[in-house]
């Protein structure tokens, strides 16, 4: 679109605000995010099932939290992180109801806060695409873990929201899976890597925008003029009178060298 850059600089305060405002509608719309969290936990079945301390990055409304705590994993201490600080009481209550007695609060921007004591497992789902500096965070993780500890995460990679970007000229600069692999291999041994394509169908481009808004993932800080919005509606690709939105999640499970 005229006047818009194709690659946007992430603005963390806008991201935090959009997610905070979108939490009430998030779970109803987060179909792909729910699937991705469940799939990540399935891949994690190759790991040991007993961890002293787990750090979850970007716990949000607890989609991954529930999936983890409903799995066979035994967790002694659960450290909770999310950029929206006000989410902690709800997540802590959920974890406590699942029988975990030791719950640690470490809220805030994961790229800015200090990590607490060593985590034998660090997990995250549908979060890392928002990072400003993934190599720096992976380095931070590696320095907080001992050899033999694990990192398991799912993030969206190149090709995600391709239709949205095609119609608007706006979007995140999603990394290629191979680039993330190269970053990880500096300090971790990758023991599982898988990608898949998830596509949602909508009746109109407006419905696509509403879906993005209600999941809070429009934290890009872009304000459209009416002419730009109308151009987006006209440009959005359709197939058989449906409007598709593509997500490409990639799953990584790695062991600290």
Which residues on adjacent β-strands are paired with residue 151? 122, 254
End-to-end Cα, the chain, rounded Å? 45
Q: Which fold has domain 12-256?
A: Rossmann fold (3.40.50)
Question: Residue 7: pLDDT band by 50, 70, 90 thresholds?
Answer: very low
**Structural Rg of the chain based on CA atoms:** 18
And the tokens for 15?
């991201």
Which pTM value belongs to this model?
A: 0.92
The CA-based diameter of the chain, rounded to the nearest angstrom, is: 55
Listed residue (149, 148, 155, 146) closest to 57, CA to CA: 155
Q: What is the mean pLDDT of residues 172-185?
A: 95
Block residue for tokens 């998030």: 26
pLDDT in tens, 9-43: 456 776 666 666 666 667 677 899 999 999 999 99
* CA neighbours closer than 13 Å in the CB half-sphere of residue 85: 6
pLDDT in tens, 86-128: 999 999 999 999 999 999 999 999 999 999 878 999 999 999 9
């Amino acid at each position: 679109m005229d006047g818009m850059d194709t690659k946007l600089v992430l603005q963390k305060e806008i991201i935090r605000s959009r997610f905070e405002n979108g939490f009430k509608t998030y779970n109803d719309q987060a179909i792909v995010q729910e699937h991705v969290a469940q799939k990540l936990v399935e891949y994690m079945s190759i790991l040991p099932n007993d961890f002293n301390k787990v750090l979850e990055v970007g716990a949000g409304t607890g989609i991954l939290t529930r999936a983890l705590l409903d799995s066979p994993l035994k967790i002694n201490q659960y450290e909770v992180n999310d950029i929206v600080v006000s989410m902690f009481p709800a997540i802590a209550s959920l974890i406590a109801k699942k029988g975990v007695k030791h719950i640690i609060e470490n809220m805030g921007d994961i790229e800015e806060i200090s990590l607490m004591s060593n985590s034998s497992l660090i997990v995250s789902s549908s979060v890392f695409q928002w990072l400003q500096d993934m190599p720096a965070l992976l380095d931070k993780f590696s320095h907080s873990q001992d050899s033999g500890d694990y990192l398991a995460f799912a993030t969206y990679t190149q090709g995600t929201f391709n239709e949205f970007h095609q119609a608007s000229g706006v979007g995140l600069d999603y990394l290629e899976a191979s680039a993330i692999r190269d970053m990880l291999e500096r300090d971790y041994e990758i023991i599982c890597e898988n990608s898949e394509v998830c596509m949602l169908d909508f009746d109109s481009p407006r419905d696509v925008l509403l879906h993005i808004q209600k999941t809070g993932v429009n934290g890009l800080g872009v304000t459209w003029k009416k002419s730009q919005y109308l151009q987006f509606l006209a440009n959005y690709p359709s197939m058989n009178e449906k409007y598709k939105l593509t997500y490409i999640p990639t799953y990584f499970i790695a062991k600290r060298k």
